[in-house]
């Protein structure tokens, strides 16, 4: 599962552009993730602020 | 919002604004949708642009020019600095803009030309008819609209999803995105007419730190690092904080900006039936500098011109829109993208020792023309060994 820390996110869209599954979407000033996410962790790496974490279920 | 337009533009950045203005000027019915509540905000840019690049589109206006730039410096990992000045000292070579005002001005010009503009209006899916884009589903203020269009322009920037939804892979490879953070800083001791670029694997791995002045003691101080170098504890913001603590310990931050810039190859094709992709959405930022304002303005206008011609002939299928793709690829911008991609691939692999040696080779260059091409040519003259590593580039130089 991908945890989005909205308190940290600066809604820049960098993560959206690297997600291979198109699972992330920036809705104005908040980021959403949908069920297409495969927990690959690419977005977690790219975020300039560290707002994303893949949580092991 | 109407049900039908000649042209629907997704995104109110420089690319979308120029497309909408160009089409509206020719009398087309145009709808531009921007998902954010205010055009250009929050900013995702260091705001630097070459002087001659801008004047091609809009006469310079003090309203959105923060500073005029007269020179630049390239700082090596060991802090040695190379000064870059135009042949005619004292003449300005570039601007640092106020993108908030600049972007709004461009959309305002599109509106004045007759385009309808909608903010906080987000495209959530393309309308597909017989496998071709025929408009988009737009959500605004809790309502959903089906907006049909003969031509749709995807100008949705780095986080572009529209072309992806229509079946084109726009994913940026992790190692080919620059992940960026920037402070607008005040109370710092800088040369207000000079931009600075800091290189080095300690300072900014696979990227650089920039200082772009916006006035006396005021500047965008930012960093981009390669996506492959980013991770917990060593993100763009971590590197930036370290740089700022060393360089401007008494500076104050009055704005935080984050963003991503693609430094990959452009999309392999930037048109589809009834659709053209422009600006960052087409992955056409400069692979060396990360600059994309000009590229967005240029492709936005060119896409609209191509669309106008296609609409006049009544054929907006992919083949009829291909002139857009082939024209920008063979333009000076397209050629620069190709060359700078190859140069970037070499530069991201250089060690700090090598970078030091390159910057030390010249302490001052008077550039005939302020461009990455003339800079690279000068660097190669002073470092003939570079030519070996760049030999596959001979054709470009
Ligand atoms: C940190 C940083 C520094 C930079 N520095 C420079 C620089 O100094 N010089 C330079 O030339 N370039 C710079 N760039 C690049 C430059 O900012 C971009 O290339 C430029 O903004 C691209 O313009 P655009 O119109 O293609 O996209 P954008 O300006 O990103 O506009 C796209 C718009 O589309 C909207 N949108 C997205 N999806 C939807 C949707 N589904 N529905 C409706 N609207 C949508 C977005 O909200 C956005 O407003 C920098 C970028 C970053 C991140
Ligand atoms: S990259 Fe980070 S800051 Fe940017 S939108 Fe994604 S989560 Fe937010
Ligand atoms: S973890 Fe991978 S699939 Fe999931 S949102 Fe991030 S990049 Fe996309």
Task: Give the pLDDT score at B397.
Answer: 56
Q: Are B226 and B203 in contact (CB under 8 A)?
A: no
The pLDDT score that the predictor gives to residue B392 is 66
Task: Indicate the CATH number for domain A2-54.
Answer: 3.30.70.20
pLDDT category at B393 given cuts 50, 70, 90 is low
- The residue with greater pLDDT, A21 or A56, is A21
DSSP B36-78: SSSTT-S--S--EEEHHHHHTTS---TTTEEEEE-EEEEE-TT
As for ligand 3, residues whose beta carbon falls within 6 Å of it are A 2, 19, 21, 23-24, 33, 37-43, 54
Mean pLDDT confidence for B349-353: 93
For residue B278, which of B158, B112, B126 has the smallest C-alpha distance?
Answer: B158
Residue B256 has phi, psi (to 5 degrees) of: -115, 130
Rounded Cα–Cα distance for residues B101 and B110 (Å): 14
Ligand 1 atom 35 nearest Cα: B11
* pLDDT value, residue B324: 98
pLDDT of residue B382: 83
B180 touches chain A (CB under 8 A): yes
Which protein residue has the closest C-alpha to ligand 3 atom 3?
Answer: A37
Least distant ligand from the CA of A19? 3
Q: What tokens does B283 get?
A: 């992955």
B63–A contact, CB cutoff 8 A: no
Indicate whether B18 pLDDT > 60: yes
Least confident of B26-30, B48-52, B109-113, B142-146: B48-52
The closest residue, in CA terms, to atom 13 on ligand 1 is: B291
- Lowest-confidence segment of B26-35, B252-261, B385-394 by average pLDDT: B385-394
| Dihedral, B128, A40, A10, B255 alpha carbons, nearest 10 | -120
Structural domains of chain B ordered from first start: 4-42+101-171+266-330 (3.50.50.60), 48-97+173-262 (3.30.9.10), 341-396 (no CATH)
Q: What is the pLDDT of residues B280-306, one digit of tens each?
A: 999 999 999 999 999 999 999 999 999
Confidence label for B396 from pLDDT (cuts 50, 70 and 90) = low
The answer to whether B134 and B5 are in contact (CB under 8 A) is no
pLDDT digits (tens, 9 = 90+) for B66-108: 999 999 999 999 999 999 988 876 778 899 999 999 999 999 9
Q: Chain B residue closest to A16 (CA)?
A: B159
- Count of CA atoms in the C-beta half-sphere (13 A) of B122: 15
- Across A17-23, average pLDDT: 98
**Cβ–Cβ below 8 Å for B230 and A22:** no
How confident is the model over B159-214, as pLDDT tens digits? 999 999 999 999 999 999 999 999 999 999 999 999 999 999 999 999 999 999 99
CB contact burial B318-336 (16+ within 10 A = b; e otherwise): eebbeebbeebeeeebbeb
B386 pLDDT more than 90: no
Distance A44 CA to ligand 2 centre (A): 9
Q: Do A49 and B259 touch (CB under 8 A)?
A: no
Contact status, residue B20 vs residue B26, Cβ threshold 8 Å: no
Ligand 1 touching residue B66 (CB < 6 A)? no
What mean pLDDT is reported for chain B? Answer: 94
The whole-angstrom separation of Cα A9 and Cα B139 is 23
Confidence class of residue B375 from pLDDT cuts 50, 70 and 90?
Answer: confident
**What span, in angstroms and rounded, lies between the C-alpha atoms of B94 and B188?**
21
Sheet holding B48-50, edge to edge: B48-50, B94-97, B65-69
- In this prediction the pTM is 0.97
Assess: ipTM above 0.95: yes
Domain boundary assignment for chain A: 2-54
Q: What is the whole-number distance in angstroms between the Cα of residue B301 and the centre of ligand 2?
A: 30
Statement: residue B340 has pLDDT above 90: yes
Q: How confident is the model at residue B394 (pLDDT cuts 50, 70, 90)?
A: low
* B380-389 mean pLDDT: 79
């Amino acid at each position: 599962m991908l945890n989005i820390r909205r308190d940290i996110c600066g809604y820049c869209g960098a993560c959206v552009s690297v997600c291979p599954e198109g699972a992330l979407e920036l809705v104005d000033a908040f980021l959403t993730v949908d069920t297409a996410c495969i927990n690959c962790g690419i977005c977690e790496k790219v975020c300039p602020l560290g707002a994303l974490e893949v949580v092991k279920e | 919002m109407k049900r039908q337009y000649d042209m629907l533009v997704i995104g109110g950045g420089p690319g979308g604004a120029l497309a909408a203005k160009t089409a509206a000027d020719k009398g087309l019915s145009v709808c531009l949708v921007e998902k954010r509540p205010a055009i250009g905000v929050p900013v995702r840019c260091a705001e630097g642009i070459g002087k001659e690049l801008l004047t091609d589109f809009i006469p310079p206006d003090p309203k959105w020019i923060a500073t005029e730039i007269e020179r630049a410096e390239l700082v090596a990992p060991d802090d040695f600095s190379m000064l870059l000045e135009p042949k005619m000292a004292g003449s300005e070579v570039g601007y640092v803009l106020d993108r908030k005002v600049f972007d709004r001005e461009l959309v305002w010009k599109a509106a004045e030309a007759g385009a309808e503009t909608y903010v906080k209006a987000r495209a959530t899916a393309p309308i597909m008819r017989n496998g071709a884009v025929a408009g988009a589903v737009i959500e605004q203020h809790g309502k959903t609209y089906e907006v049909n269009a003969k031509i749709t322009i995807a100008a949705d920037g780095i986080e572009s999803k529209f072309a992806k939804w229509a079946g084109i892979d726009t994913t940026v490879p992790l190692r080919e995105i620059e992940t960026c953070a920037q402070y607008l800083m005040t109370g710092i001791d800088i040369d207000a007419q000079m931009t600075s670029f800091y290189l080095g694997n300690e300072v900014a791995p696979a990227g650089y730190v920039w200082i772009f002045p916006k006035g006396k003691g005021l500047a965008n101080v930012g960093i981009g690092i390669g996506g492959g170098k980013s991770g917990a504890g060593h993100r763009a913001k971590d590197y930036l904080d370290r740089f700022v603590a060393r360089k401007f310990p008494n500076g104050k931050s009055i704005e935080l900006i984050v963003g991503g810039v693609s430094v990959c190859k452009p999309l392999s094709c930037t048109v589809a039936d009834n659709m053209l992709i422009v600006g960052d959405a087409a992955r056409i930022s400069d692979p060396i500098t990360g600059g994309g304002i000009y590229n967005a303005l240029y492709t936005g206008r060119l896409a609209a011109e191509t669309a106008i011609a296609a609409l006049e002939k009544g054929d907006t299928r992919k083949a009829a829109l291909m002139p857009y793709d082939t024209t920008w690829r063979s333009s000076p911008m397209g050629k620069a993208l190709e060359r700078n991609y190859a140069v970037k691939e070499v530069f991201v692999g250089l060690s700090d020792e090598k970078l030091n040696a390159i910057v030390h080779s010249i302490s001052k260059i008077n550039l005939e023309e302020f461009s990455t091409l003339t800079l690279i040519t000068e660097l190669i003259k002073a470092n003939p060994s570079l030519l070996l590593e760049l030999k596959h580039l001979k054709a470009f130089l």
